Each structure stands twice: as C-alpha cells, then as structure tokens.
Structure 1
Amino acid sequence: MSITIKTVATQLPPYSQATEETIPLVKMWLQGQESRFQRKVIKIFEGSGVDRRYSIMNPEEVFTNTDFESKNEIYTREVKKLGKQSLHKALQQASWNATDIDFIITVSCTGFMIPSVDAYLINELQLRDDVVRLPVTEMGCAAGVSGMIYAKSFLKANPGKRAAVIAIEAPTATFQLEDYSMANIVSAAIFGDGAACVLLSSNQQDSGPKLLDEAMYHFYDATQLMGFKLVNTGLQMILDKDVPQTIANHFPDIIHPFLKQNNKTIDDIDHLIFHPGGKKIVQTVENLFGSLGKNIDDTKEVLKLYGNMSSVTVLFVMERFLKKNIKTGDLGLMLSFGPGFSAQRILIEF
C-alpha cells in the first residue's frame, strides 16, 4: 500500500511589503537607540536574504504598540481565513469533496485559540462530522513535516483513507515592540506569514509522489536553542546564534543513517526539499549538501520571495517540486528543523 501526496496548495495573507519598504519603519522603531546599533540592525534586514514578506497585519500595525490580546484576536481571525482558503484550494486541485477527508491535521505555533482552527474548518467547509482531528502546536518550523509524518501513520493504518495537513503561521503577530534583542530583530528580518495545505492519501485511486519512509531526530540538551517565551506582551522569540553550527555538528547523524536504513545514500537523492530557516541556516546546509554535489536552489528562492513562514515554508518548497516535470522514480528528501531541538525527515519517490 502506498501513501501518496495528492497535491499542495499555498495561500498568502493580504498584506505584503518589500524589505526596502520595511526599513523606514524599522528606522522609526529604532529611534532613540545608539546609532551604531541602528546601523547594525538595518544591515541585518538588508542582508537577510528575504526580498518580501507577507503579513496578516498591515505593515504599519506591526510596528505599533499592539497588546497581546489584540494581536491574538487578529491571529485568530486571519488564520481561520487562511486555513479555509488553502484547504478549499487544495480540494479543488485534487477534485475532492470536503467530505472525502478522513483525517485533518492543523499546524500552528504563532498564536493561541481554543477550539483549534480545525474545528472552524469543519464548520466552514462542512467536513464530515466523524472526521478525525489533530491540532499540532508548539513544534515550530518542523511541524509542517511533522504533520505529514502523523498523517502517514494514520493512512498506513487505514487503507483507502484521505488526510489534509494544513499549516498556518503568523510570526509577524509575535513581534515585540519593546524588545531590542538580536532574537527579536533577526526574527523580524526573516519571518513572514502564510499558509499551505497538503493532501495525502492511502486510496489507491489517488496518484502522486510516494512517502517511502519518515523519521524524527532529537538533539539532546538543546531545548534552549529555539522557541517562544510567553510574556505579558505575547510570544517572545528565542533564537540562539548557535543553531547553524549545531545543525552542522549533527548533520551526518541526521542524514546518513536515515538513508542507510532505506538502502540509499545521498548520491541516490535527486531533489532536496529543505525548510529555509534563515540565511545562515540555509548557507550552512547549502555548504553541507554542496559538498555532496546537491543544491537547495528552491529553498533559497522561497526564502527570498516569502521569508521563513515557520512550519508552512517547507510546503511552499514542496509545491514548487510538484509543479516541475520530475522524472518518475526520482527520489526527494524532505527536511526541516524546529524547537526541541529536532529534525524531521521524509523520503519521497516521485
């Protein structure tokens, strides 16, 4: 029995701004700070590798003193819209009805809502009243791949079923106006908002790339590297400068044993579907893969066009591959990193 990817549909929020348009707002935010520090921050934005970011909030609103309650209300309102749009688009692309979905996984870590967004999607799109729900939170950038791993487990145990994984993130709603730390500044420079839906199936009538294997890799004693701290003004970014080097240190253990258990080596991998965590992480992984004769050009392009949309971003990369004329039998390696610290991998056959 094969587990296949039927389609991926992406969705962007209504507001967007080029980095060069954002810098005047950053300069206003930095007024009163030491001039050398201001120049350093502007260089971070200019050198972020991100040309444009999309947002659920008006760009000017991001740099106003919005309280946590107000930002979370915007998050709640807008993720419902983005989730509905991405799921509806995916169903249309697949020629599926909403009632064809047996399992719905929703992924988000950039706001709080109970009931979770999947409950609203069931009502809005009239999914079946017995659809199985799984909201995934607190896994950060890795959760898009995590959601696919959970869907594969469900589908493997239930032949003939279909699943939707919907990732919706709004990192701009977590920006901290009074926080001039490098973590807050770097996250503001690289993160953007977006949504994506991937439909998967164990129904043999559905064709598409096959999920051959999956695995999670957990870094010991690395919980301090990435995440959010809940403060009175919202979700405060934790982003350690050692993340790229930590990934590099663990890279051989992340990649080679996973491929070996599938009787493969990196030479057998034709396509890399990698989450663009940020310019430094991308450069680190590009150097590691480049030494193995591989490229992550699509990853770099997604970072440039949209920024890091947390769990959503790797699905934007996956969508680009589905639109290509990829040779049957080619292998792809899907890879993302997130808080914990952890790495998630899926081996795909096109």
Structure 2
Amino acid sequence: MAAYIHHIATETPEFIYSNEFTRERMKGWVAEPRAKRLIDMIYERTGIETRYSACDDFMKEEGGLFHTLPDGTMNSPTTGQRNALYARAARELAVRLARKTLGECPEFEKGEITHVVFASCTGFANPGPDYHIIRELGLNESVERYTVGFMGCYAAFPALRMAAQFCEANPQAVVLVMCLELCSLHLQVSDRPESIVANALFADGAAAALVSAREPVGDRPFYRVQAFQSALVPGSEAHMAWDIGDNGFNMVLSAYVPELIGSNIREMLASILDKRGLKVEDIDEWAVHPGGRAILEQIEEQLALPTTALEMSRSVLRDYGNMSSPTVMFVLKGFLEEAETERATTCAIAFGPGLTVETAVLERCGAAIPPAGMAKPAVMAQTAAA
C-alpha cells in the first residue's frame, strides 16, 4: 500500500533580517580585528540574502535576550532563558502552521487527523507544540502524538518515514508531520570559525505535511512515497555535533563537512537508487537540503549534475537560510508549486550530526504549471498508484 504526501505548507516567524544586517550586528559584538574579518568573509560566502527569526532582539540595543552590554559585547542568555522563548514562540508558530496546513488542504477534515509527528532539536517543552496543536485546533483528543527530538537537519525524513509506516499499516491513518526549529535562539558570539559559520547559516522556520494512504484527488501535485534510507559517513562523528551548554546549544560544524559529504555521496546514493532500479541520471528533481553553499557545490560536482539541478535548494538557502529540519521540506514544496510535468522522480537528501545522511525517493505526480496554451489536467489518483 502506497503512502502519499498530499500537501506541504511552510511558515516563518515574523522578524526578517538581511544578511548584511546580521553580519554588521555580529561584527559589532566582537573586538578582535581577525574575528571581524572572519565574519565578513564567512557571511559573504553563505549564499544567504535573508533569514527569519523568532527574536526581535537583533534590532534592539537594550533589553531582550541578545542586548548589547556597556562594554559593547553581547549579553549571553542562559539556556533556560533561551528555552523559555522557544516554548512560547514554538507554540504560536506550530499552531499557526497546523491551521494553515489544514486550510490549504480541504480534502482533509481536522477530525480525520489520527497522528501528529513533531520534529525539533532547538528547544524542549512539555506539554509541547504537538499538544497545543490538538487543543487549539480542536483535533480529537485521541490523536497519537510522537516527538522526533534532537536529530538536527535530517529529522524531516525519520518523521516522514514514521508517518508513511503508520499509513501503510493502517489505511485510515492521516498524519500531520511538522518540523519546527528556532535556531537563532542559540546564537553565541565567538571568534571560533565553526561558531561564526553556524551563526552565519542557521535561521528559524517550520514546515508541515499531510500524509495518508488515501489516493489523492483534485488537481494539486503530490508525492508518492517510494523509499527511505539512512547512512552514516565513516570517520565523521567529530565534524558535526549538537549538544546542550549553559548558554544555549553548542554547534560543532567543521569546515571539512562539505568535503566529507561530497566524497561519500555517490556511493551512498547508489545503495538506495539500486534498490529502485535507478541511477543518478534517472533522477528528474533533486531536493537537497541546503546546509550551506559549499555542500551544494560538492554534491553538484560529485554527482555531475546540471548547473540548474540544485536551483531550488539554492533559492531556499538564499531566501530563508538553513532552518535545520524544515529546510528540505521547503525545497520539496517548491518543486510541487513549480511542477510543469505530470511525473517526476524526485530524490531528496538531508544531512545532520554524525554525519548522518538521510535519503528519500519520491514520485512527484501532477503539474502545477501547465505548458503554455494548455489547460491544466486533473491529477488522476490511479496514475500515482500504477
């Protein structure tokens, strides 16, 4: 029995910052000329133009979590203070996104939701956003709730795989999957290059999907789930890690991460593609988590992809930054919204601490943008199951 991703919706916090603004803000909080030069160099190379944050403190000189102290340095709030803001902001963002997701997908009633799978690694609260989604949207109190915690940028795939397994086991299951991260709450000012890179890349956002075994109807493009697979990059554990410190969560992000991913990606992909009788050349759409510009460049080079293959990933990185787990779902949503063909084989990839590589093979069905001069045909559910 096939599982389908019927719809993907996205949401961001209300505060938006340009790359230039955040770069100058960070430079103002460090004293060493070398650190200022590093910030200039790293921010210039990110490929990011704007990012969103749940925190408005970056526009303030006083008050809030990240205010400037009399000596010109940044106040470094405790983990508890940061997490308190996570609890408030995540609740509001999750409820808003859940309501938006159901509103954009009218073929599902709120009373039909049987499971909520919530993924996040940037904060903790109990009762958490999954609980408040049920309460504030008026879902059935019997809805099963699951939290996929502290996995990092690849968490969308375990969450979607769990949802697909629920639907394959129970044809009546309708699963709301949500990935939500508030990475900017863990900003730390340091002259260490890995810390500067983390500050330069990460941002806030959320994405949600509705998954079921019900054959899609209507003319909205959707994904048919084909396969998921996990892999670990050998000898890479120390190069990307995420732990809890006294002043926020500490990110270890080595400069070698793009090279490690690039040198292993072809072999790792071969495993999942071979099982489907596919080769790299058979993939029509590449939904790659834009962990950073250098990672996308490595994948493009090592897989010998056309220069336009990762355009969707680059546009998400440019407009939103790296939002951790929701980011690849922003990319997948982009392909649904810009689909011009009735069928495409989509390979989705994300990376995270470990280094962990998660992959998914999906069949994108339906066109959102018909060819010029042609009416858009309805998507027939039976074609997806063929």
Aligned ranges for residues 134-283 of structure 1 at < 5 Å? 134-177=146-189, 179-204=190-215, 208-283=222-297
State the Cα deviation string for residues 103-129 of structure 1 (Å, max 9, x = none): 111011011222332112111112212
TM-score normalised by structure 1 residue count: 0.94
CA RMSD of aligned residues (A): 1.7
Q: Which has the larger radius of gyration?
A: 2
Alignment of 1:72-151 (within 5 A): 72-95=83-106, 96-151=108-163
Deviations 1:153-206 (A, max 9, x none): 1111111321111011011001123x3322221111111100111111112355
State the identity as a percent. Answer: 28
Offset at residue 294 of structure 1 (A): 6.8
Tell me, yes or no, if the aligned pair for 2:115 and 2:175 is still in contact at 8 Å: yes
Residue 213 of structure 2 aligns with an amino acid whose one-letter code is: S
Correspondence for 1:50 among 33, 39, 48: 48
SS at match of 1:88: helix
Q: Which amino acid aligns with 1:248?
A: G
| 1:201-227 per-position Cα deviation (integer Å, ceiling 9, x unaligned) | 112355732011111112344322212
Q: Report if the CA contact (8 A) 1:62-1:175 is conserved.
A: no
CA distance in 2 between partners of 1:54 and 1:160 (Å): 37
Contact 2:19 2:43 (8 Å CA) reproduced: yes
Cα pair distance change 1:175/1:127, threshold 3 Å:
same
CA distance in 1, matches of 2:53, 2:245: 22
1:125 and 1:100, CA in 2 relative to 1: closer, same or farther beyond 3 A?
same
User: Which piece of structure 1 moves more, 236-245 or 303-312?
Assistant: 236-245
Any stretches of 5+ residues in structure 2 without a counterpart? Answer: 68-74, 365-386
Deviates more, 1:75-84 or 1:124-133: 124-133
TM-score in terms of structure 2 length: 0.86
- Pairing 1:346–2:338 present: no
2:26 aligned residue: 26
SS of 1:330's equivalent in the other structure is strand
Alpha-carbon contact 1:266-1:292 (below 8 Å) kept: no
- Name the stretch that deviates more: 292-301 or 311-320: 292-301
Q: C-alpha deviations, 1:117-144, integer Å up to 9, x for none?
A: 2112111112212211110111100001
Q: How many residues align?
A: 347
Q: Runs (4+) of structure 1 moved beyond 4 Å?
A: 291-294
Unpaired stretches in structure 1, ≥5 consecutive residues:
none
Using the TM superposition, name which of 215-224 and 194-203 deviates more.
215-224
CA–CA distance in structure 2, aligned partners of residues 154 and 182 of structure 1: 42
